[in-house]
A and B are shown apart, each in its own frame.
Chain A
């Protein structure tokens, strides 16, 4: 008994240590915002595929093996899934009404045409006829209504659903989701092949809201929304039903996910017999690509920049390289919240406490000049990325390179700017003091979970110190702990590192940079920016894309002068596939496009 007790104590101590260790230094890699189904695509290699097609036409048959580094959590219902790993599989099994082309315009998918009314408060879509679900039932407008109705259900959020962004602007959403009424007015079936979306207010990007994958009514109609997540129809191979080119037929949970072609696919029977997804450790990935055991690796990770040249040297692998929609940033805490507001969870800009250490925009600009972003891209990304100047992805029509200040590495300029502002080294300790002669030390915080970002922090410290700015780089925190402190910011944080992965649907930056946005971790409060962001979304002027582009261009100028954050770089996505695979037509946001046209040249 005594001995056993002592051992239990040892076990406890061990577990505690392990717990702390894990909290302190866990490394997962996929904690950044999950990718959305509305993400991206690209186009470099399309031509090559076509050439080879000309040599010998597509052959039917064959199996393709794809890899992902982490197993999906196991939720294969589009309205409830959260992670990019499920999105991989769902993009083959489910279709949406509309999709996006390489210029990010919405194009027909399950809906063949559409029109909006005068003030864009409604959108009517004509659906493709003769589309069948994997189980042979016909797809109709009722399925569309059912999908959006389920996402507006009073139980949707408490059951774990998070995609409310797609239903919030629908007419009568609040009344329906709060249970006040049983009539769902947001999406209405006019007949079997016509469906209308009604919006509460004029909507500048109505097709975005129609771009969500559709789930089958006949499968789910008897399952209450609250029970959908645990239903076999949401998670079991064979029971998950979509309209996509491939059916999810089998799985060895957390190891293999097998998709077989949907013979009656509405765009034609896919060439490939099946696609097998395998979960593979990142450390052996390149070896398996070389040996041909894995045919492709793409979203959400692709191959690491450090392996680019190795993989390119294999000879049997094609690499698609294109900029990602997300970016990494060095954030400046403009304001902190008071402890009372943090406690209450309130975002009241009036109560915010300005961060004196970074209050002057000129100081933030000087810091930005002291950062060698090109060097980071070269050194950390092996050149597989680029510094960007505004928080709008370069692929968007709204990106305006000329509007934003380019903070080219210029340590001398940084130094002279700080000198002018009175930040000089008065006491000879090698670091600048603030104009009053007080010590001026900037705290730098950063999370674990992204190896490149972790390596960025010490480099930044070094670069800033070369400009005479004293930086107190603190221990990195595990992502969950980090986000909590980032959110509850009644702290002494000054500089922070963060990355965003963003979708391709719309460039509207207000989700991250509006004053009262929860994700505005800099607590940036700039009335001019606020006004421009709202102006860009205001109907009816904003129905015109050119008008919005102009407003965003002005906004980018404001952003880059006031600097809530210095954007460090946008990494390139590096997707790789074996040359036996033909017919790949990547889009800026995904490689998984028109998979029914994929074929392998060794099928027979």
Chain B
């Protein structure tokens, strides 16, 4: 098992190098550079930007630029943002990543807490009124665009009822300690639900069909024939088998957690990685694009590794040597 994990982690390295080359090439292939969009200011002499391009090495051949970036990356230096003058990429990302991870986890918890019990219930009582309403809710959840749901939520719960704050992550800078935590959670409720909505629907549908599937299988019939009670059949045999696809889903979710939720972040002015990523692409902020992509790559690889490890825990038949 340990060997397996180490082997998997070693394989990450060539994958990430490949990923970085492809993303670098793509980013450079996009027309323009960090200064092209800026030049629409008639009081600024475009010559100024050429000088800055030169200073940043943007006029060098692309392979040279890639190797310069890769060497500093290998030394652990993510470089300096080309758009946010004087800011290094590390500080930009670390400032946002906290918000993003909190919000992602919050949404995930909401998703799981809501989706799994309902999914199980629906499977155990298929075609019951609750199953039908859960299905309806599920399709609605998938069908309603995030930004629309977010806007409605802000209008009703923040502006009309005033229960939750409409924007941002914290009321002000002076809140500290436990009340800071509460304040942040308070700010997270609306974006968290908005973000978790589609996930909830997906997980619920998955859970329902998996449990239904497993419930119909031979070994469950055997377990029941042995005289095992329903409760034990459900928890000991059914769930363990039904949970595997959910783990696969969550492996992906781990990466999605970091990529942030661009639309939700924007509707709630919630400064996260998603917005940073979009802006860095718009502004051709190459060092930031590269760092975030690599970060996402790492997160997805780790998420998958974790998922594979969990498989072996949940399902003893799966072994890695």
Contacts and interface: CB of A to CB of B under 8 A. Distances in A.
Contacts of B19: 8, 11-12
Contact of B271 (A16, A23, A163, A253): A253
A36 interface: yes
Interface stretch (B79-87, B223-231, B236-244): B79-87
Contact of B42 (A251, A278, A291, A500): A500
A11 B19 CA distance: 10
A168 B42 CA distance: 15
A15 B293 contact: yes
Contacts of A500: 40, 42
A80 interface: yes
A95 interface: no
Interface string A155-194: 0011011111100100000000000000000000000000
B269 A483 contact: no
Contact of B169 (A26, A230, A255, A498): A255
Q: Secondary structure at chain B's binding surface: helix, strand, loop or mixed?
A: helix
A4 B166 contact: no
Contacts of A253: 95, 271
A256 B172 contact: yes
B39 interface: yes
Contacts of A455: none
Contact of A255 (B50, B170, B300): B170
Given A250-B173, A483-B37, A8 B87 contact: no
Given A23-B281, A158-B55, A281-B267, A4 B42 contact: no
A518 interface: yes
B11 interface: yes
A161 B51 CA distance: 10
A436 to B, nearest CB: 35
Interface string B224-263: 0000000000000000000000000000100100000000
A404 interface: no
Given A11-B297, A16-B26, A252-B173, A519 B42 contact: yes
Nearest to A69: B269
A318 to B, nearest CB: 20
A139 to B, nearest CB: 25
A4 B41 contact: no
Interface in B199-229: none
Interface stretch (A27-35, A113-121, A141-149, A543-551): A27-35
A7 B40 contact: no
A163 B85 CA distance: 14
Nearest to B7: A1
B37 A31 contact: yes
Contact of A480 (B32, B162, B255, B278): B32
A62 interface: no
A580 to B, nearest CB: 18
Contacts of B172: 252, 256, 258
B155 A287 contact: yes
Given A8-B300, A252-B173, A36 B36 contact: no
A284 B154 contact: yes
B52 interface: yes
B22 A12 contact: yes
Interface stretch (A70-78, A334-342, A360-368, A530-538): A70-78
A97 B31 CA distance: 41
A126 to B, nearest CB: 27
A7 B300 contact: yes
A502 B42 contact: yes
A284 B43 contact: no
Nearest to B165: A293
Contact of A157 (B15, B48, B271, B305): B48
Contacts of A485: 31
Contacts of B48: 157, 161-162, 164
Contacts of A162: 38, 41, 44, 48-49
A260 interface: no
A288 interface: yes
A178 to B, nearest CB: 12
A224 to B, nearest CB: 13
A65 to B, nearest CB: 11
B86 A33 contact: no
Interface in B2-58: 7-8, 11, 15, 19, 22-23, 26-27, 30-33, 36-46, 48-52, 54-55
B167 A284 contact: yes
Given A234-B86, A478-B282, A502-B42, A4 B11 contact: yes
Contacts of B116: none
A280 interface: yes
A161 B36 CA distance: 16
A330 interface: no
A255 B151 contact: no
10 tightest A-B contacts by CB? A229-B86, A230-B86, A480-B32, A158-B55, A254-B271, A33-B41, A481-B31, A33-B40, A480-B37, A511-B42
Given A281-B267, A487-B36, A511-B42, 10 more contacts: A75-B85, A165-B45, A258-B172, A284-B154, A479-B282, A483-B37, A487-B39, A503-B43, A519-B40, A519-B46
9 contacts: A31-B37, A157-B52, A164-B44, A254-B95, A255-B271, A278-B168, A480-B31, A480-B36, A503-B43
Interface of B: 7-8, 11, 15, 19, 22-23, 26-27, 30-33, 36-46, 48-52, 54-55, 83-87, 95, 147, 151, 154-155, 158-159, 162, 166-170, 172-173, 252, 255, 266-269, 271, 278-279, 281-284, 293, 296-297, 300-301, 304-305, 308
